[in-house]
Amino acid sequence: MNMQNIATAIPEKPASSPLRIVIFVSLFVVMLALCVGISGQLYKFVTMVAAAFMAGSDPAKAGAIMKNMAWLIDGMVAVTGLALASFVIRRWIATQAEHRAEFLRTFFLYLCLTVGVIVVLFPFFWMLCTSFKPAGTELLINTANPFDIVPAEPTIGNFKKVLKLDAAPTGASIDPVEAKKNFGTYFMNSLTVASMAAFLVTLFASMGGYVFAKKELPYKKQLFGLLMATMMIPGMMYMVPQFFMVCSMGLFGTKLAMILPHLASVFGIFMLKQFMETIPSSLIEAARIDGASEWQIFRVVIIPLSMPIILTLFLLTFLSHWSNFLWQLIVTDFENPLSVTLPVGLALFRGQYTSDLGLIMSASCFSIVPIVVLFLFAQRYFIEGMTQGAVKE
C-alpha cells in the first residue's frame, strides 16, 4: 500500500464552520467582559473592607490605602481573566468539531446564568457597598465608571453608629429618639418573636396536618375545605379585629401581640397534610400494636419522617415573621424599646425629611445574617421538603 492510499484511508477531522468560530469569539468576549467586571468589583470590595477597618472612621485615609493597593487589584483581575480564558480555550480546542455546537450551547447557558446571578445578587452587593459610604455620598455615582459602585473613600462609622460603638460627646444631651435606636435590642426582639412564632406554628400545624392526613373524624373533608377557603380572604381584613382583640386582652406593646394572632397557619396545615399522606399507614398500625399511644406515634413515627417538610415550614414561618413590618408596627409601643422589632427599628433611621441610607444599609447587613445562616444550615432539608411529596406514585 503506497503513501497516497494510506493518506486517503485516514479520515480527516472535520473543521469547525466559520459561523461557530464567530459565535465562540463573541461569547468569549462577553465572558471576558463579565469576568473583568465581576472580579474587579469583588477584589475592590475586599480591599475596601480591609482599608476601612485599617483606617477606622477616616475615609480619606482609607481612600489612600485603596489607591496604594490599586496595582494589586489590577494584577489579580488580570490573573483571573487569563486563567479563565486559558481554561475556556483549552476546552474549545479539546472538543471535537461535531461536539462544538453542544459546547457553544453550554457556553451560552453559563453566560445567561451568570447574568441572572448578577441581577439577583446586585441589590445585596449595592447594600454592602452603600453601608461603607460616608454620610451624604450614598447616592453619588462614579462619573468615570458608572458600573463601579464600590466607594473610593469607605468608612466603618455607619456600623459603629448602628451598634452604638461611637463615643458620645461628654456632657452632650441625648436625643430621646436617638436613644431608641438600639439595634441590639431590636435584633434580639425580632429573633425572639420569629423563633417562638416559627416553633409554635410548626408544632400546631404538624398536629393539624397529622389529624387531617391519618385520622378519621366526621366531616373531615368539608372542614378541611372550609379551612382552605379561608386562604382566599385577604389578610388585611383580619388586622382590625385582631387589633381590638389584642388590646382587649391587654397585650398591646408586647411580644405576645406579635405572635398569638398568627399561630394558626392554614397553609402550614395544608403543606404538612399533603406530605404526611405519603407516610405508610402500616407504620402507624405497627406502632399502635406495639402499645404506643397517639402522642408517642406522633412524636416517634410522624415527626422524624416529616422532618424535611417541618423544617421547611419552620424556615418559611421564620422568614415571614422576621420581615413582618405592618403588623409589628401596629402593635408596637414606642415608649417600650423591648417591643420594637428590627423591621420597625429600621424605620426609625428615617427622619421626617431625610433618610440616613448609610445607617439603614448597615443595619440591613446585620438583619440578613440570621436568614443566610438559617438557610445555609437547613437548605438540604428545605429542598428535600419542597420536592418530597410533590408527586404521588
- How would you write the pLDDT of the chain (393 residues) with one tens digit per residue? 454 554 444 444 455 578 888 999 999 999 999 999 999 999 999 999 999 888 877 888 888 988 999 899 999 999 999 999 999 999 999 988 888 889 999 999 999 999 999 999 999 999 999 999 888 787 788 777 778 888 888 988 888 888 877 655 555 555 554 555 578 888 889 999 999 999 999 999 999 999 999 888 888 889 999 999 988 888 888 888 999 999 999 899 889 999 999 898 999 999 999 999 988 989 999 998 888 888 899 999 999 888 888 988 998 899 999 988 889 999 988 877 778 888 888 887 776 666 778 888 888 888 888 888 888 877 776 666 556 555 444
- Contact between 179 and 241 under an 8 Å Cβ cutoff? The reply is no
One domain, residues 345 and 225: yes
One domain, residues 184 and 138: no
Chain mean position to CA 161: 25
**Does residue 10 sit within a domain?**
no
Sequence-distant (6+) residues with CB within 8 A of 227 are 266, 269, 270
**Does residue 363 sit within a domain?**
yes
One domain, residues 373 and 251: yes
One domain, residues 101 and 202: no
One domain, residues 145 and 276: no
* pLDDT tens figures, 136-175: 787 788 777 778 888 888 988 888 888 877 655 555 555 5
**Does residue 341 sit within a domain?**
yes
One domain, residues 91 and 237: no
**Does residue 21 sit within a domain?**
yes
What domain range includes position 357?
178-387
One domain, residues 86 and 125: yes
- Contact between 142 and 149 under an 8 Å Cβ cutoff? The reply is yes
Radius of gyration of the chain (CA): 29
One domain, residues 377 and 239: yes
Residue with cell 450551547: 105
> What is the pLDDT at residue 15?
52
> What is the pLDDT at residue 16?
58
Q: How far, in Å, are 60, 374, 381 from residue 161 at the CA level?
A: 19, 26, 37
- Contact between 128 and 45 under an 8 Å Cβ cutoff? The reply is yes
One domain, residues 149 and 184: no
> Among 124, 155, 186, which residue terminates a domain?
155
Q: How many residues make up the chain in this entry?
A: 393
CATH number, domain of 245, equals: 1.10.3720.10
One domain, residues 38 and 184: no
- Contact between 235 and 265 under an 8 Å Cβ cutoff? The reply is no
User: By 3-state DSSP, what share of the chain in percent is helix, strand and coil, each rounded to 5?
Assistant: 70, 0, 30
What CA–CA distance (Å, rounded) separates 35 from 150?
A: 17
Give the number of domains in the chain: 2
pTM: 0.77
> What is the pLDDT at residue 10?
45
> What is the pLDDT at residue 179?
56
What CA–CA distance (Å, rounded) separates 375 from 314?
A: 11
* pLDDT tens figures, 219-241: 888 999 999 998 888 888 888 89
